[in-house]
Structure 1
């Protein structure tokens, strides 16, 4: 008679003896690398943001003093040039995010649905063509974009065919909403008050014409990447639910809006999160382009942090801007996570879907 013995397990976790130690041993190199090259620099940058380090020597030397929130107050509340520059950069970037994220997400989803169609011939070619701008150097695309959007460039040449006198895009600081209203002067109530040294009227100016060119470039270069994410999500969906909706009489738009899109919620959250992070951290296009010109209407917090630290030698303020930007990204991500959370389906929504299905069947 033979007996079988089961391996002894340690603790309530059910791990065999020694597996926990082996796991820590295998992950130790990655933990050390992340700690040395990620955690330690972040902590040092945090110390720089609350100290008077001048850029020479070690930030941890005895000559560096703790100044508390002085660098943060210089950026947020002092009302000087640093505050106004940060307000300008925040306004520019806010309009950039407000326009780029929805446009690139909608375009990426549209392209993914289009490429996912079984009847489309040459789908591999279109996938590669749409994705190609995403793998091209952003600096090269920025240089090409500036060439296309000059006063004598191809874009203005096309606009001239329709009788439109195009601007010199990257040199025009006027806000597009002010241009639409036909005025640069607003109501007294909007021009007197404000935040971060910028009046409410200037906050409502919209992106400048120069920033609008960057917005178009961002949508052009990033939609291909997000298209692949949506395409992967679409190909992983089961057809049972959509077939049931077809049996209930739902039309194509109802099936997409009420069946396909809710199943893409995890992919949508990923796309929106990556889009938000990328838009708030936009730097290389600004650096390769006008570097904030014209009239600081393309200035962004990421570039302002670099300019403040490396050019103006205000290392504490530059680090403070970076951490403020980090907090902004975290807050937007949490709000987005709350907005896209899973919600229980109410009876009212079920009834609305049944009514809509009967309407589509009729």
Structure 2
């Protein structure tokens, strides 16, 4: 048989062989991931209370009512959902930039060093988030170690998990009247602008400390792939360390930075375990997040349709923000 015909025959069979090899993985992902997602999407259009099967005719069909209640209907459902969006937005806007900059800084510090520092910075990332949350809960208790240290310097520590006021409220005092009189999506302008609560700031501190090590490893791997010739050329041209970092190293880290920010956005919008362990959404719902609200609505209030609707709205928020970030990064390129 001529070599060309034999080669075409082998290439023709490669596609079928490839599908044969990936078929078990595709079946497992479809059965345990795609099918549950589709089932949850169907539940989001029903008023299932957890009793019986949601796929029988006895479950009332709600249509898009579970979704409209989150955005248009005046009531507790929209108020809680918008409160959770506000809280999570503050959480994202503080955690993602801080953890990204801190991870990059740690990677630059340990890039030329090995052993102890890499292990020390990465260790919080491999520790159970529930265990660390319990430790931080004791540290930030009213009579905990943080307030005890502040008392040594004559500073009266805050009531970390009891004060529902936001940081902006604590700094500027009572809000102007016009910010309280007007509302958007069921919350006053002051509710949107009053800042994260002290309890949310404690959770932010915990998350930044535990996640920076993971992203440090990503930046570290990217730094070690930066060509040495580029750095040497920059030094020969007289570039300072800051100029070398800004014009040589950071452009080489752009794909890694995009990955770190994307993973940070996804992780911060899905925050649940720290909220569940440390605050349960308190004080006064200032640490309530969409993920925890979805859990509480479905498994505590037994409104599985509304809980599933919240989770899919959260999914759309994550997808849209990721696409927006990718577009902005592409425009800078």
TM-score between both structures, scaled by the size of structure 2: 0.96
Q: Which residue of 2 aligns with 1:173?
A: 164
Range moving further from structure 2, 245-254 or 137-146 = 245-254
Q: Which residue of 1 aligns with 2:304?
A: 315
**TM alignment of 1:301-312, pairs within 5 A:** 301-312=290-301
Maintained 8 Å contact 1:86/1:196: no
Range moving further from structure 2, 254-263 or 14-23 = 14-23
Q: How many residues align?
A: 333
Q: Which residues of structure 1 form unaligned runs of 5+?
A: 345-362
Deviation at 1:4, TM superposition (A): 6.0
Deviation at 1:290, TM superposition (A): 1.6
Q: Which residue of 2 aligns with 1:74?
A: 69
Structure 1 consecutive aligned stretches of length 4 or more whose deviation exceeds 4 Å: none
Counterpart CA distance in 1 for 2:301 and 2:7 is 60
Counterpart CA distance in 1 for 2:108 and 2:3 is 55
Counterpart CA distance in 1 for 2:91 and 2:216 is 20
> What SS class does the counterpart of residue 63 from structure 1 fall into?
coil
Deviation at 1:5, TM superposition (A): 2.7
Counterpart CA distance in 2 for 1:327 and 1:55 is 25
Q: Which residue of 1 aligns with 2:130?
A: 139
Which protein shows a greater Rg? Answer: 1
- Do residues 101 (structure 1) and 96 (structure 2) align? yes
Counterpart CA distance in 1 for 2:164 and 2:22 is 51
Deviations 1:122-181 (CA, angstroms, capped at 9, x unpaired): x21111111111111111111100111112211112212222111121222111111111
Q: Which residue of 2 aligns with 1:251?
A: 240
Deviations 1:166-200 (CA, angstroms, capped at 9, x unpaired): 112122211111111122x3231x22223221111
Counterpart CA distance in 1 for 2:70 and 2:78 is 4
Change in 2 beyond 3 A, CA 1:239/1:342: farther
Counterpart CA distance in 1 for 2:159 and 2:120 is 29
TM-score between both structures, scaled by the size of structure 1: 0.88
The alignment's C-alpha RMSD in Å is: 1.6
Q: Which residue of 1 aligns with 2:14?
A: 19
Q: Which residue of 2 aligns with 1:187?
A: 177
Q: Which residues of structure 2 form unaligned runs of 5+?
A: none
